């Protein structure tokens, strides 16, 4: 599992934080502004502000080491058979 700060492509980080923080938006935005003032990039400031208030989203990643082997196997995305490139067949490999 991974913890992430989420935002839509058409949102600013400030808008995304306010939407995720709900009633705590003022405090989380203050933490965001503080991190920006310290020179952090917006995406890092957003992550830190949301993390400080326990608001990061938790997502499962394919092959995530914290998942069981069965879950990781299920999460794998296999190519269609038509999309598999032909194998390299040199004279030595035949």
Mean pLDDT, 10 residues at a time, over the chain (94 residues)? Answer: 86 95 95 96 95 88 65 59 54 52
The alpha-helical segments, DSSP class H, found in 12-94 are 13-21, 25-37, 42-52, 69-75
Cα 31 to the center of its chain, rounded Å: 20
Tokens encoding 31 = 């933490």
What six digits make up the tokens of 55? 């608001």
**Angstrom distance (rounded) from CA 61 to CA 9:** 21
Q: Tell me, what's the pLDDT at 57?
A: 87
- The C-alpha atoms of residue 40 and residue 62 are separated, in whole angstroms, by 29
Q: What's the pTM value of the predicted model, to 2 decimals?
A: 0.65
Quick one: pLDDT at residue 25? 95
CA 94 to chain centre: 44
């Amino acid at each position: 599992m991974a913890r992430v700060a989420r935002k839509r492509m058409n949102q600013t980080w400030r808008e995304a934080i306010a939407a995720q923080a709900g009633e705590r938006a003022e405090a989380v935005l203050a933490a965001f502004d503080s991190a920006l003032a310290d020179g952090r990039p917006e995406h890092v400031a957003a992550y830190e502000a949301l993390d400080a208030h326990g608001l990061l989203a938790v997502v499962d990643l394919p092959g995530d080491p914290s998942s069981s082997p069965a879950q990781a196997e299920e999460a794998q995305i296999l190519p269609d058979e038509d999309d598999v490139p032909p194998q390299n067949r040199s004279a030595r490999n035949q």
